[in-house]
Amino acid sequence: MGVILNFILKFLPNIFIKGKVIRKIKGFYYVLNENSKNLNEENIYECKLRGTLKVKNSKMNCIIGDYVEFDKKEKVIEKIEKRKNFLYRPLIANIDFIGILFAIKSPNFDFTNFQKMLLNANSQDIPIALILSKIDLFSEEELKEFLNKFRQLFKDTISIFPISTETNIGLAELKQYINKKSVVISGPSGAGKSTLINTLIGEEVLTTNDVSQKTKKGRHTTIESRFFMLAQHSYIIDTPGFSTLDFPKLEEKKELEKLFPEFLKFIPNCKFRDCIHVNEPNCAIKENVKNGNISQERYAFYLYSLENIKFNNSK
């Protein structure tokens, strides 16, 4: 029967289908038909990459999140659409926004790690939102105090979604925000990524793990990036957890200022065009730190980043 089927297929015309790469394993790309309403097996095609699209030893040839056109008959990807953006680690393309998920407690909110993630997202020009989990562990007064502190630090540059999977607070608003988007959910282990995704999807698609009582850090449960479909054209991508996060790779010190959105409108007012806002006179950034338009904590993190990033073209 298989021989007859293969003989018939030779004479059938090639059918080209558009889709989205949702998984990659050892040279095989798993492509979801763009018209699919679910991730059922019949909607996913195991494809190879056409040789002309390969650059030797390049991980960037075709990556998760790419929009592609493939030959249904030969199961070969023939075309890769231009990417609007991508995350380098983990390697994922065409993201509408990153949901940075941090627990408000257990483990406690880590402002340094959060700001490192923020720098990485901003360096690739990807919008972000803070998904603040486990708010049921805080009283209303404690939550209000935390949100006030957060807004003082970051002004109005970040959308915040306070949620609880225990009480379902905030989940409807988050689900509406995700609609018709490709969303990466990332954050430290123990923040509740698996529980959140299971709740949003409505079924147990990921295993969960509690926070280690010894270290107060989450045990890692995600070992690879995985795609889930919330609704048609609404995708959630679960990414591997981390214990620490590297700073973004930058060429020159001057590039760092662009990753602080609250700096941008003040930078043109600096006296010197090459001002990096440390020791230069008549610096608009330092002036606005003094008058409260930029928080002292954010400026301190800027200096910390400037000191710790290994710039490729450092002087």
What is the tens place of the pLDDT at every residue in 30-75?
Answer: 999 999 999 999 999 999 999 889 887 788 999 999 999 999 989 9
Q: Does residue 314 sit within a domain? A: no
Q: Does residue 33 sit within a domain? A: yes
Return the bridge partners of 69, or none. Answer: 18, 79
101 lies in the same domain as 234: yes
48 lies in the same domain as 118: no
The annotation status of 187 as a binding-site residue, yes or no, is: yes
Q: Does residue 2 sit within a domain? A: no
Mean pLDDT of the chain: 88
- Say what the pTM is: 0.83
265 lies in the same domain as 224: no
Question: Are 158 and 63 a contacting pair, CB within 8 Å?
Answer: no
Amino acid at 259: L
Return the bridge partners of 100, or none. Answer: 130, 186
The annotation status of 123 as a binding-site residue, yes or no, is: no
Q: What is the residue range of 203's domain?
A: 94-238
Q: Does residue 200 sit within a domain? A: yes
27 lies in the same domain as 115: no
Domain count, the chain: 3
The annotation status of 193 as a binding-site residue, yes or no, is: yes
- Please write the tens of the pLDDT for every residue from 124-141: 888 999 999 999 999 999
Q: Does residue 127 sit within a domain? A: yes
How many residues does this entry show for the chain?
315
The annotation status of 241 as a binding-site residue, yes or no, is: no
Quick one: pLDDT at residue 3?
A: 64
Which residue's entry shows tokens 């293969």? 6
The annotation status of 188 as a binding-site residue, yes or no, is: yes
* CATH code (residue 121): 3.40.50.300
Ranges 1-15, 101-115, 194-208, 278-292, most confident: 278-292
Answer whether residue 161 shows pLDDT above 80.
yes
168 lies in the same domain as 228: yes
Q: Where are the alpha helices (DSSP H) in 165-262?
A: 171-178, 193-201
229 lies in the same domain as 99: yes
290 lies in the same domain as 174: no
* Segment 253-280 mean pLDDT: 97
The annotation status of 189 as a binding-site residue, yes or no, is: yes
- Please write the tens of the pLDDT for every residue from 228-258: 999 889 999 987 644 346 888 899 999 999 9
Q: Does residue 295 sit within a domain? A: yes
Quick one: pLDDT at residue 12?
A: 61
Quick one: pLDDT at residue 221?
A: 46
In angstroms, the Cα distances linking 293 to 156, 262, 271 are: 11, 8, 18
155 lies in the same domain as 187: yes
The annotation status of 290 as a binding-site residue, yes or no, is: no
- Please write the tens of the pLDDT for every residue from 190-224: 888 889 999 999 887 776 554 433 334 444 444 56
The annotation status of 194 as a binding-site residue, yes or no, is: yes
Q: Does residue 69 sit within a domain? A: yes
106 lies in the same domain as 220: yes
- Hey, what are 76's tokens? 């070969």
Q: Does residue 72 sit within a domain? A: yes
Question: Are 65 and 86 a contacting pair, CB within 8 Å?
Answer: yes
pLDDT tier, 6 (very low <50, low <70, confident <90, very high otherwise): low
The annotation status of 65 as a binding-site residue, yes or no, is: no
Last residue of a domain, one of 183, 213, 238: 238
- Hey, what are 291's tokens? 């008058």
- The Cα 176–Cα 163 span in angstroms is 13
- The Cα 107–Cα 122 span in angstroms is 25
Quick one: pLDDT at residue 291?
A: 96
Answer whether residue 309 shows pLDDT above 60.
yes
* Segment 91-113 mean pLDDT: 93
- The Cα 39–Cα 205 span in angstroms is 12
Quick one: pLDDT at residue 144?
A: 97
The residue among 221 and 169 whose pLDDT is bigger is: 169
105 lies in the same domain as 62: no
Q: Is 263 exposed, middle or buried (0-12, 13-18, 19+ CB in 10 A)?
A: buried
Looking at residue 281, what DSSP letter applies? S
